Amino acid sequence: MFVIAQISDLHFDGGPDHRRRVAALMDYLNGRCGGPRNVDALLVTGDIADEGLPEEYREALDALVTDIPTLMTLGNHDERAAYNSVVTGTECSEPVNSALRLSGLLVLALDSSIPGRSDGYISRGTLDWARAQIAEAGPDTDVLVAFHHPAVPVGIPFIDDRRQLDPGLLAEFVGEHPNIVGCVAGHAHTPAVTTFAGRPHVIAPGVASTLNLPFEGTDVLNIAQRPGVAFHLIDDDHRLTTHFRGVPV
């Protein structure tokens, strides 16, 4: 069985509150979950920075220290050029896509950000890149696909107005590959489970904050909630099971 940890919506902004919430999660992952084979990979699914500033990405690198293999992709608060200049040392504004191949599992982190916009879209070029990764891994390799913007409504109007603009290409891509066990996303600042293109679609809790559902009150933020992590388990029957944990700060 594989265990993939996912955190999302960190929103590093130079302030102590978000940094403290991330530190609590990293302490949890590195302490309780940091032993051999405990967690196979860590996914960071966007909104790493709050304003997409280079100093925010430097802050993120200082905080996200772990021996767990880590993949990151970007959200609507991120800025590709600033991220690449700090994290990869390159001058590049192309989508930030990454892959991790384990023995029997391929994890894909796809960039759904649109520069200058809050909603999302996964381009044909990114999906062609992902197809090549899957083809190289082979049809017997399970695939977990991650991105920032949910592909379907999740019941929070503020987020549903800012989800993926046209997930049709993504649905086509998922339909082409029966070895995709599910898709995971962030952006909604709430743990949620739904379906997309006939597969599980899981939304990770927010680290920086949690958003209220419409029936939870008129405030945007639910300040009582802890920073959260999703643990995605992929078993020998190719089944995706997700557990959520809130971590005290």
Q: How far apart are CA 58 and CA 167, in angstroms?
A: 32
As a whole number, mean pLDDT of residues 63-76 equals 96
Domain 2-246 is classified in which CATH homologous superfamily?
Metallo-dependent phosphatases (3.60.21.10)
Indicate whether 192 pLDDT > 80: yes
Render pLDDT for 29-64 as a digit per residue (tens, 0 to 9). Answer: 999 766 556 899 999 999 999 999 999 999 999 999
Of 186, 241, 184, 178, the C-alpha closest to 211 is 186
What are the structural domain ranges in the chain?
2-246
For tokens 């960039």, what's the residue? 111
Q: Identify whether the C-beta of residue 227 lies closer than 8 Å to the C-beta of residue 25.
A: yes
E strand residue ranges, 57-96: 70-73
**Each residue's pLDDT tens digit, 74-118:** 999 999 999 999 999 999 999 999 999 999 999 999 999 999 999
Residue 38's pLDDT is 87
d(CA 40, CA 162): 31
pLDDT given at position 223: 86
> pTM to 2 decimals?
0.96
Residues 40, 21: Cα–Cα separation, whole Å = 22
Average pLDDT, the chain: 96
Lowest mean pLDDT among 88-97, 125-134, 170-179: 88-97
Mean pLDDT throughout 240-249? 97
For the chain, percent helix, then strand, then coil, each to nearest 5? 25, 30, 45
Cβ atoms within 10 Å, residue 174:
22
**Between 32 and 246, the higher pLDDT residue:** 246
Mean pLDDT confidence for 212-237? 94
Strand-pair category, 240-246 with 41-45:
unpaired
Q: How many CB atoms lie within 10 A of CB 152?
A: 18
Provide the pairing of β-strand 41-45 with 2-7. parallel
Average pLDDT over residues 211-229: 93
